[in-house]
Structure 1
Amino acid sequence: MINQKSGIVLIEDDVALGNSISELLSLSGFNVNWFKDGIDALLYLNKHIPDIIISDLMMPNMNGEDLYFNIKKNGKLNAVPFVIITANIDDSVQYKLLENGVNDFIVKPFKVRELIFKVNNLLEFKNNIEKKFKPDPFSKVTIKLSEKDFLTSVNEHLLNNLKLNVDIDELSKQLFISKSTLDKRIRKLTNKNISQYMREFRLDYAIKLIHLGERNIQFLVHETGFNSFSYFTTSFKLYSNLTPRDYIKSIHNDSKLLENN
């Protein structure tokens, strides 16, 4: 199983896309450092070693290809998987990057599941290799959760059980606390009761999927674990002031407006 605290460096100059990718990776249990510029990312990487690097190809100042070849000069980063995101790529550039060690490509538009699967596969492969050379120092250590870690843990359990629509009883059992304690801690951290927090977590996930290109409402219902299409639609409208269909149309119209500008 992948370490839920694996560190990812994301380089993406598109603010909307970068924000969506960063949030979804964070919800999936990763620590994400997002940079909008390859030069800033390179300065960070000269001092920090992440578990994986995900970079857009076409960017101002320093594109993904130049960033990759600069990173290769740092011997400490040779074992870090590197994934490139691109809308289109010339075969010669792709072959050149693959030949020089780029691990994978993700072609826009892509589904968030594709990104998560590829990240998990690369990290699992990397972690399996590392385990052969050193033991896991945390295998028998119990770490008390801070408040931030507690909320992260709640989010991880919700995300891992999203389709199952895990209830409060089951969530409290997974976290080894009582329902009342769970509700009190959620209220303290978010000013929401646990039912509202769980429902809005699933709605936020649906909205992030929409921003990444998902248009099938029935798929959104299934992916977020709502019991029915009508309950999802009603909850979505109360939360966003728009029906799912109207929200999708608004995103589509905004994209067209940006393209025209």
Structure 2
Amino acid sequence: MSPGVRMESLEVSREAAERARRDLQPLLNTWIGRLNEYPGFGAWKREALGASLDRLDIGVESSVPHGDFYFDAETERQHRIVSSYYALWAAQNDIRDSGYYFRRFPFSGLPVTKASHLRMCCELYFNRIHHFRERWRAFLKVMKRSGRMKALQEEHFIEALADRFSNEIAARNRVHHEAAFDDPDISALTIAGMLARDNDEKGWGLAGSWTYRRACKVWVRRVEAAAMDADLFIGVAATLMLASADFLKVD
């Protein structure tokens, strides 16, 4: 696990990344407060909330989907930047959350094998990394176009993330284009499941359960490490916003 990330001339340590996120958050909170005072926006949000709550009424027809709200050009530019940052942050949280899917097998007594569940969890994790990479690209594009960072060499930032998550990205691409994910533990679980299906006098089911628990612990550690490194990229994003998003510093 790297102590920090270097992207061309920008080098951000874990401490600097955490400090940037901490410094950015109160500025975002203040900006959101100003946004909520935008004419008509508060009423639109209340209507949106009401439309969502309507869907929770059992036996009641869903309301017409709530429409979009349109800001003036400058506010829309600011909103695009802030939204892209929060979308990246949400993707990082999704990486961390994917670790919980490995923590227990919820299909006892159902026709879902441990091998199938482990494979699904791994593929979910790979897809979360893919989502994070795509939102990282989107954030950098927004910063270059709407954040007025015309000199931003986003390819260096994209390459840094691709290098860190190269194994997960390669695995996701193989799953997407070639075949389901497989590794020695999944293969072992598949074999153990077949051998234990009819007569398990030799304890194949127990061996499979032990292998499943051990493999899941390994994957949880891997997911947690990935989430920590994704968090570092959030810090880089915060650093870029602090450097260029002047509208956040308006009193």
Q: TM-score, normalising length from structure 2?
A: 0.25
**Larger strand fraction of residues:** 1
Determine which structure has more spread, i.e. the larger CA radius of gyration: 2
**Larger helix fraction of residues:** 2
Bigger relative contact order (CA 8 A; separation at least 6) = 2
